[in-house]
Amino acid sequence: MTSQKTMEQRKRRRAAFDYSLFGIVLILMAFGLVMLYSTSSYNGQVKFADPAYYLKKQAFATALGVVAMVVVSRIDYRIWERYTYLAYGISLVLSTAVLFFGDEYNGSKRWLSLGPLSFQPAEFAKLAVILLLARTVTLRVKKMGKISQMFRVILVVLPIVGLVGTNNLSTAIIILGIGVILIFVASPKYLQFISMGALGVGFIAVFLSVESYRLERLAIWRNPEAYEKGYQTMQGLYAIGSGGMFGVGLGNSMQKLGFVPEAQNDMIFSIICEEWGLMGALCLLFLFLILIWRLLVVAQNVQDLFGSLVAVGIMGHILIQVILNVAVVTNTIPNTGITLPFISYGGTSVLFLLSEMGLALSVSREMKKEP
Amino acid sequence: MLVVFLACVFMLFVLAGRLVYLMLVESDYYQELADDLHERERSIKAARGRIIDSSGTVLATNRTVCTISVIHSQIKEPERVIEVLCKELGLSEETVRKRVEKRSSIERIKTNVEKEIGDRIRAYELEGVKVDEDFKRYYPYGSLASKVLGFTGSDNQGIIGLEVVYDEYLQGSNGTILTLTDARGVEIEGAPEERVEPVAGNDLYVSLDYNIQLYAQQAALKALEEKQATYVSILVMNPQNGEIYANVNVPEFNLNDPFALPATVDVSNLSEKEIQDLRNQMWRNPSVNDTSEPGSTFKVITAAAGLEKGVVTPEDTFSCPGFRVVDDRRIRCHKVGGHGSETFVQGVMNSCNPVFIDVGQRIGAEDFYSYFQQFGLMSKTGIDIPGEAGTIMHQLDNIGPVELATMSFGQSFQITPVQLATTISSIINGGKRVTPHFGVEIRNSDGELLRRLSYETREGIVSEETSATMRYMLEQVVAEGGGKKASIEGYRIGGKTATSQTLPRGTNKYISSFVGFAPAEDPQVLALCIIHNPQGIYYGGTIAAPVIRGLFENILPYLGIEQEKVLDENENKVD
């Protein structure tokens, strides 16, 4: 009851930091750097005459991320509850700023530059949304069964979804997805979700038919060989198919030599398939599954609702990106640009992913003993 | 919460299933497509088979040449590369600089570079400069028999002549090197190469004889120069089996530089098409590709037809007043005063037109036409040179008395020289229609016989008796008649002269020709000389016959045909 007692309890629980979660993150991170070097050395050599060009940038961001992860894991996550609106506000401002001052790359304005550093506000927005929703849902948890409340929660994230969605549809989908998962976890009423799902499908149908280029994407998805724009997809499939059971070996990919465009980005999983084969690809998926499972364990075993929802949000973030990325690379769904967490090139992404992991680790300290 | 996780597990399983499908079931399909994308095929040229004459002299072979190219991404010292390539290849700096600085995977600087220069460039060890060795067709004797041998294009394919006809044997099959490249087409160092070795082409052995060809060429060039003729053709063949020993058509062209027109042609204001037309003209083999009126040499065929039908005997007498009136038209004999009364043998010796008009009338249009067919004149000879011209002949229905008369002394229709030589061969060889040809054998590069080429012969063109009579009469032509200038003491030579006009008539251009064979009683060699548009004296007996005599003087001993004392016997027979 006394605050001293809780403090004591907390101190004791600090020993219960989830090492398996931490270990998995480190393994994924290290593997990510190895694969990043493998896939980017050719592009680095061709474009910047430095095979380690991308590796250096990524390693810097990763180092920064590891520091952030360790620091955040040592801070009580409840502190962030106070700053959720601030964080959300900052993410809105940054996402607006990027529309006006952003650097354009491959036709999308996604980066804000500050001297030699560049920053992708959309990555920060994901973290901000996780915190914001966790808080919003915690405050209304008893009323969450009402459909009107569900829509109100969704309404809270719509501004950022709209802002990010103007030039980064995929991230908007991820943010929306995280929101849906959080609401669902707080109030698992299937009927409502089925109706919401139906609404979502209808929305997507309208969305697709409004702009013809999105319909074209569907056509490319169904028959990528017949379209010039299916080139990237086909190259990815060539890489995957070339892998076979055990792959061609680390560093021996042919497809990364300019055939798969920017192999270190969204399509990196196809090169992993080529170099490590089916076995390697399945192992990687299994690693992600363990990561997601550890996050689930954290979420399930934390008494505090806010902490639990933060863990669920992070889990949702990872699982949506992994599933969508692998689905896109294997041409299971139409092409959209989604990176593979911890593996794909992207400094902001890895920095905030590691911060999220720090947050999850911090939450994991609150775990009661596993049954 | 667990529901979300289980949904996630389920979706990951679906994706894993998709991966299994792509990486195991569809693996071969994508692997193959990917290989196609990564592999670059570099072809290794196969050595083309040689062309070798009957004495073993190599007339066409290969020479190693180099192709110099640069790989932009590997060049370290562009200025030095430019400097060296300019110096060694004799190209302008501008040309070389443009190619060296072009951002392409591989840029060809120059092909067909001499091996020595290629070796020198290789010795500089410049990075990014590639020297590839390659074969180039090489003709050791330059223009010798150019219109017979023909030449090849850059893709190792025959363009004219024997190179075309025997392409399938000569070509061989190219090898390939499969290398891996990145998306820019740059070869990946250290990647394993797949190599398919090239198979060299087979050698073609021909009946041409270098020495005879050379003698004939000298004789033809001499006549060309002396008579300021447009061209001179000589065809030397074995009348017994159709093997051609020599076929000269001067002016020849340089096989090692076949696209260069003669220096006398000013190409500066000609269009590309006009230049190409001139080249095509230069490459023509007039012995095979062009037809003309044969003129009096054709009287051999008329005489053979008359003898064969039995409408004339050597002893028959004719009278020549210097012309014959046929259908109100007066057809003149070349001797204005006429030959008076003469036997058929004398008619042949005098090449008397009225005699042959009479013989033609005795044969009749229909039979004369069918003798044309029987002798093989209406079909091509089947010589192994591409583009043989067919006979241009009246329709049977259109052969009136005038046409019949002119046909009988070799006018109003056109045949190729090789057709004339072949038909005369079959008349004097006992009645065998032979196929004139060059190709004899195909052997591989080790000299192992792969194939003996066989040619059609048709027996019974004329009877042996007719053939013997023709040999006798034609021997008289050379011994005492119009072909006297072809006679060589100690040899029995048969022959017939001709002087015809080029078509269209009225340009005062003539074609002088002579066909001779030896030994007269058993012909082993037959030679036809055609002088096209000679200046000054243009009678075949005067200018073409001596060419063949000069040739025979050289080649008869060479062919092992013995001299004999036969003059006395001849004198007895003639008078």
**What is the SS3 assignment for B363-386?**
HCHHHHHHHHHHCCCCCCCCCCCC
Interface of A with B in 262-321 (CB under 8 A): 273, 277-278, 281-282, 285, 288-289, 292-293, 296, 299-300, 312, 315-316, 319
Give the model's pLDDT for residue B470. Answer: 95
Residues A232 and A134 in one domain: no
- B15: contact with A, CB 8 A cutoff: yes
Using only C-alpha atoms, chain A has a radius of gyration, in whole angstroms, of 21
Range B120-137 average pLDDT: 84
> Quick one: B41 exposed, middle or buried, by C-beta within 10 A (0-12, 13-18, 19+)?
exposed
Chains A, B: CB pairs < 8 Å: 114
B218 secondary structure, DSSP code = H
> Quick one: B138 exposed, middle or buried, by C-beta within 10 A (0-12, 13-18, 19+)?
middle
- Answer yes or no: do B182 and A257 touch at CB < 8 A: yes
Give the model's pLDDT for residue B38. Answer: 82
Least confident of B263-267, B433-437, B534-538: B263-267
- Answer yes or no: do A315 and B38 touch at CB < 8 A: no
- Among B4, B23, B183, beta carbon nearest to A185: B4
Q: How many CB atoms lie within 10 A of CB B276?
A: 12
- B259: contact with A, CB 8 A cutoff: no
Domain contains A1: no
Give the model's pLDDT for residue A287. Answer: 95
Give the model's pLDDT for residue B240. Answer: 95
Six token digits for residue B534: 């000679």
Residues A153 and A300 in one domain: no
> Quick one: A227 exposed, middle or buried, by C-beta within 10 A (0-12, 13-18, 19+)?
middle
Interface of B with A in 181-220 (CB under 8 A): 182-184, 188
- Answer yes or no: do B4 and A289 touch at CB < 8 A: no
ipTM attached to this prediction: 0.88
Read off the pTM: 0.65
Residues A200 and A222 in one domain: no
- Judging contacts by C-beta atoms under 8 Å, the chain B residues touching residue A193 are none
Q: Indicate if B27 belongs to the active site.
A: no
Cβ neighbors of A45 (< 8 A, separation 6 or more) are: A51
Domain contains A14: no
**pLDDT 10s digits, B491-504:** 999 999 999 888 78
Q: What are A231-237's contacts with CB under 8 Å, separation 24+?
A: A231/A261, A232/A260, A232/A261, A232/A267, A232/A335, A233/A331, A233/A335, A234/B33, A235/A259, A235/A260, A235/A261, A235/A267, A235/A270, A236/A260, A236/A267, A236/A270, A236/A329, A236/A330, A236/A331, A237/A270, A237/A330, A237/A331, A237/B22, A237/B30
Nearest CA among B234, B182, B275, B278 for reference residue B513: B234
B262 secondary structure, DSSP code = P
Residues A203 and A219 in one domain: no
**pLDDT 10s digits, B159-204:** 999 999 999 999 988 888 788 888 777 777 766 677 788 888 999 9
Q: What's A302-362 look like in SS3?
A: ECCHHHHHHHHHHHHHHHHHHHHHHHHHCCCCCCCCCCCCCCCCCHHHHHHHHHHHHHHHH
CATH architecture of B42-206: Alpha-Beta Complex (3.90)
- Answer yes or no: do A293 and B5 touch at CB < 8 A: yes
Residues A92 and A221 in one domain: no
Catalytic residue among B54, B287, B292, B296: B296
Nearest CA among A9, A29, A5 for reference residue A287: A29
- Cα first-last separation, chain B: 132
Range B24-28 average pLDDT: 89
Range B50-62 average pLDDT: 94
Give the model's pLDDT for residue A188. Answer: 64
Q: How many CB atoms lie within 10 A of CB A211?
A: 10
Residues A365 and A236 in one domain: yes
Q: What's B97-150 look like in SS3?
A: HHHHCCCCCCEEEEEEEEHHHHHHHHHCCCCCEEEEEEEEEECCCCCCCHHHHC
Residues A48 and A104 in one domain: no
Give the model's pLDDT for residue A1. Answer: 42
- Among A237, A312, A323, beta carbon nearest to B22: A237
Nearest CA among A160, A98, A155, A95 for reference residue A129: A160
Residues A155 and A68 in one domain: no
- Among B3, B4, B37, beta carbon nearest to A259: B37
B562 secondary structure, DSSP code = P
- In Å, the largest CA–CA distance within chain A is 70
Cβ distance B497 to B483 under 8 Å? yes
The residue with greater pLDDT, B304 or A166, is B304
**The domain boundary residue, chosen from A162, A194, A210:** A210
Range B132-160 average pLDDT: 89
How many domains in chain A?
A: 2
- Answer yes or no: do B4 and A315 touch at CB < 8 A: yes
Residues A31 and A163 in one domain: no
Measured CA to CA, the distance from residue B402 to residue B328 in angstroms comes to: 9
Residues A130 and A44 in one domain: no
Nearest CA among B113, B135, B164 for reference residue B47: B135
Give the model's pLDDT for residue A2. Answer: 45
Six token digits for residue A91: 């993410």
- Judging contacts by C-beta atoms under 8 Å, the chain A residues touching residue B5 are 292-293, 296, 315
Helices (H), ranges, B187-249: 210-226
Give the model's pLDDT for residue B574. Answer: 38
Length of chain B: 575
Measured CA to CA, the distance from residue A23 to residue A290 in angstroms comes to: 11
Domain contains A241: yes
- B8: contact with A, CB 8 A cutoff: yes
CA distances from A309 to A78, A178, A341, B187, B549 (A): 12, 11, 20, 53, 116
Dihedral pair phi/psi, residue B234, rounded to 5°: -130, 130
- Judging contacts by C-beta atoms under 8 Å, the chain A residues touching residue B19 are 240, 273, 278, 281-282, 285, 326, 330
Domain contains A199: yes
Domain contains A126: yes
Six token digits for residue B347: 């008619």
Tens of pLDDT along chain A (371 residues) come to 444 555 555 554 454 678 899 999 999 999 999 999 999 999 998 888 889 999 999 999 999 999 999 999 999 998 998 899 999 999 999 888 888 888 777 667 778 877 777 888 888 999 999 999 999 888 887 777 777 777 788 888 888 888 888 777 888 888 888 888 888 888 767 777 777 777 777 776 676 666 666 677 778 888 888 777 788 888 999 999 999 899 989 988 889 988 888 899 999 999 999 999 999 999 999 999 999 999 999 999 888 899 999 999 999 999 999 999 999 999 988 888 889 999 999 999 999 999 999 999 999 988 875 54
Q: Report the amino acid identity of residue B505.
A: R
**pLDDT 10s digits, B323-368:** 999 988 899 998 888 899 999 999 999 999 999 999 999 999 999 9
CATH for the B287-434+457-574 domain, from 1.25.40.10, 3.40.710.10, 3.20.190.10, 3.40.50.620: 3.40.710.10
- Judging contacts by C-beta atoms under 8 Å, the chain A residues touching residue B20 are 278
Q: For chain B, give every domain's residue range.
A: 42-206, 287-434+457-574
Domain contains A21: no
**The domain boundary residue, chosen from A177, A210, A243:** A210
- DSSP letter string, B331-346: EEPSSTT--EEEEHHH
Using only C-alpha atoms, chain B has a radius of gyration, in whole angstroms, of 33
pLDDT value at B43 more than 80: no
Give the model's pLDDT for residue B17. Answer: 92
Measured CA to CA, the distance from residue A278 to residue A271 in angstroms comes to: 11
Helices (H), ranges, chain A: 3-14, 19-48, 53-74, 78-101, 121-139, 147-165, 169-186, 190-210, 212-222, 231-243, 268-300, 305-329, 347-364
**The domain boundary residue, chosen from A159, A191, A210:** A210
- B6: contact with A, CB 8 A cutoff: no
The residue with greater pLDDT, B224 or B128, is B224
- Answer yes or no: do A242 and B30 touch at CB < 8 A: yes
Least confident of A151-155, A276-280, B435-439, B471-475: A151-155
**pLDDT 10s digits, B226-254:** 999 999 999 999 999 999 999 999 899 99
**DSSP-derived pairing of the beta strands B329-332 and B323-326:** antiparallel
CA distances from B67 to B85, B110, B226 (A): 12, 6, 44
The residue with greater pLDDT, B543 or A195, is B543
B209 CA: distance to closest CA in chain A (Å): 58
Measured CA to CA, the distance from residue A338 to residue A168 in angstroms comes to: 10
- pLDDT band at B513, cuts 50/70/90? very high
A287 CA: distance to closest CA in chain B (Å): 11
Measured CA to CA, the distance from residue A288 to residue A274 in angstroms comes to: 19
- Cα first-last separation, chain A: 24
Q: Which domain holds residue A194?
A: 80-210
Cβ distance A311 to B4 under 8 Å? no
